[in-house]
Structure 1
Amino acid sequence: MSRLFRDVEGGVLFPQGSVVCIGAFDGLHLGHRALVRHAVARARELGVPAVALSFEPLPREFFSKEMPPPRLTLARAKYLGLRELGADGVGLLRFDGKLSAMKAEDFVRKLLVERLRAREVWIGPEFRFGNRRGGDLSLLQAMGGELGFGAGEIEPVQRGGERVSSTRIREALRGGGFTEAAHMLGRPYAIGGRVVRGRQLGRTLGFPTANLRFPKTPALSGIYATWVHGVAERPWPSVSSFGTRPTVNGVEPLLEAHLFDFDGDLYGRHIEVEFVAKLRDELKFPDLQSLTGQMQRDAADARRILHVIVPDQEARASMCGFPTEA
């Protein structure tokens, strides 16, 4: 189990020393993964823990509260992803007024040296930190020479002749380029979370949904053909709406997945919704009847894209894991 911490200041966390990597890690794309894996490999060679440092909220969210930029990954998914990559410690540092005003030199001394006992620090291309983005590789190397740690920058990961970045992935998702996004992420784009109770309007319309909250600005919105992971041995075909539900006056972004031919209680279950294809943008309909008609067309489109036929009663019962009637 990786050790999670939130504060720059405090007691020593890794007295034996550590190898540290720092980044926003939004999406944990191939570039992020290369950085973390490099730090983990160096830590194993040195016989010390590997520590991944990030921020929550992200700095650009803190400085743009009125119009926060889109997020690919929520904090929990980021933590789990960093842990799966081998990080022994994960710092999701509280980015607030105090941290934003901290000089890069103080960040190095208080956190990297005093708290983490860093022996090496690794960053990605063009990474900056500290007040007014005053910290960079040159500063780390200069202070490392004085304080006893090494610092380095990994080579950028390229796809399609350009550096892999969260910005490129957001642009691909916005345009429905899920294959392109998957190539940069190293996996299909998916959003995970615990299923919560909604207004149950979908159930009354004949389209019950598994709902996931997304308390950040999402990188995409609309209606999608999707696969749901975590409800059966294999991914479950579905059609999903992701957005603010303008027809029913929604506000907070909500991901609503309607699982085809599924009969079961998913409340409280942790699932992942994998995006396959965009069907259309989110629209406001004049009434629920119009909305229902469009939902039926969306479901038919998603079934066709996912190659899912409407099963008969016996096949449906078998898919859901329930015995058919004798």
Structure 2
Amino acid sequence: MSFVAQSEVSPSACAVFRSIDSVPEDFGPSVVTVGNFDGVHCGHRRVIGEVVARARALQAKAVLVTLDPHPAVILRPDQAPKLITPTPEKLRLLLQTGLDAVLVIPFTAELARTSAREFAATVLRDRLRAVEVYEGENFRFGYQAEADIAGLSELGREFGFRVEAFQPVKIARGVVSSSRIRQAIAAGDLTTARHLLGRSFAVQSTPARGRGYGTQYAVPTVNLATYEDLLPANGVYVTEMRIGTGEEVVTFESVTNVGNRPTFGPDSFAVESFLFRFRPIALGESTPVRLTFLKRLREERKWPSPEALKAQIGRDVARAERWFALRRALGGASQG
């Protein structure tokens, strides 16, 4: 296997290695988990929590290994899932878990041909010096998913690490899985998605180009740039928009339409948010925008006239305002 050497260290003291070659030769010993971790959901965090706890007990490094892009992008591009958490967002969430390091291995056609034995020897034994490996009971790896937990355990006995398998976490009458969460979000079922993720679903993007964003933006609507990963089903949502980074962050309560705007003629897909209690802000085409989806209000539909649509938007805004007023009264806040 060949990898490009890159690495970085986050402010949280969790090292992010962008290749196996960038892991120091004296790294470890380590307690490791390997997987895609799309969504960093409740099930993932259970495994990660055990990895961190065991690493502390053994005075080892807590390490998570993931792949970028998702293997399906290379192996089955026509079936590749839209991601709940693209890699930058996944890393942001993983850096909050107490891990000592995240290893992001570039997934290529060459890597896809790597045998389970070679992966275990090269990555787990030689570079990470794993002493324990934690995986879900359905874990598979290696060329054509040749090895399962039993195969990993056999390799572990040979290479000097112990393997622990976790049963799936169950919430809301079902197993917590990335595929189940994707299905819920794609259907607009934010309640189920929130229970399984352990937080509200959010997307990180930038404003759409060509909308006149300048030094001082003074219009209370923001369209997101084209977003290629997972979005909720077309419809209208109660949302919250966080704009900017660092000390310049400003957050607005909002209502968002996801869809094709059929009232105005040919389909023109957009994610358009109306911001409540808006004030002029610094907003450019590269400004980070985080949109958190809190509640689905209704499906998208074609209205008989722009006037009818305007009246409905007024009702949507009123419903969203009532939702936020109730949340404030109850002392709640979103989990983005």
TM-score range with shorter-chain normalisation? 0.7 to 0.9
Report the Cα distance in structure 2 between the residues aligned to 1:282 and 1:199, rounded to whole angstroms: 25
- Tell me which residue corresponds to 1:238: 254
Identity %: 30
Report the Cα distance in structure 2 between the residues aligned to 1:85 and 1:269, rounded to whole angstroms: 27
Cα contact 1:15–1:116 (8 A) shared by 2 = yes
Aligned residue among 271, 283, 287 for 1:266: 283
1:265, distance to aligned residue in structure 2 (A): 2.2
Aligned residue among 279, 289, 298 for 2:313: 298
Aligned residue among 128, 135, 143 for 1:123: 135
After superposition, give the CA deviation of every residue in 1:270-313 in whole Å (9 maximum; x if it has no partner): 34211123345567899xx84x863663354144134179xxxx
The reply to whether residue 30 of structure 1 matches residue 42 of structure 2 is yes
DSSP-derived class of the 2:77 partner: coil
- 5 Å matches for 1:154-193? 154-193=166-205
Report the Cα distance in structure 2 between the residues aligned to 1:55 and 1:77, rounded to whole angstroms: 14
Structure 1 residues 168 and 38 mapped into 2: Cα distance closer, same or farther (>3 Å)?
A: same
> Structure 1: any 5+ residue segments left out of the alignment?
310-326
Matched length: 303
- Tell me which residue corresponds to 1:198: 209
Moved more, 75-84 or 229-238: 229-238
Cα contact 1:237–1:308 (8 A) shared by 2 = no
Tell me the TM-score normalised to structure 2 length: 0.78
Report the Cα distance in structure 2 between the residues aligned to 1:90 and 1:220, rounded to whole angstroms: 32
Aligned residue among 148, 160, 168 for 2:160: 148
Aligned residue among 79, 84, 93 for 1:72: 84
- Tell me which residue corresponds to 1:110: 122
Report the Cα distance in structure 2 between the residues aligned to 1:107 and 1:284, rounded to whole angstroms: 53
Report the Cα distance in structure 2 between the residues aligned to 1:269 and 1:196, rounded to whole angstroms: 7
Report the Cα distance in structure 2 between the residues aligned to 1:105 and 1:275, rounded to whole angstroms: 43
Report the Cα distance in structure 1 between the residues aligned to 2:294 and 2:28, rounded to whole angstroms: 45
1:165, distance to aligned residue in structure 2 (A): 0.9
Report the Cα distance in structure 2 between the residues aligned to 1:62 and 1:284, rounded to whole angstroms: 38
- Tell me which residue corresponds to 1:81: 93
Give the superposed CA RMSD. 3.3
Report the Cα distance in structure 1 between the residues aligned to 2:105 and 2:259, rounded to whole angstroms: 28
Moved more, 299-308 or 46-55: 299-308
1:262 is matched by which residue type in structure 2? F
Tell me the TM-score normalised to structure 1 length: 0.80
Cα contact 2:20–2:123 (8 A) shared by 1 = yes
Structure 1 residues 217 and 230 mapped into 2: Cα distance closer, same or farther (>3 Å)?
A: closer
Structure 1 residues 113 and 293 mapped into 2: Cα distance closer, same or farther (>3 Å)?
A: farther
The reply to whether residue 209 of structure 1 matches residue 222 of structure 2 is yes
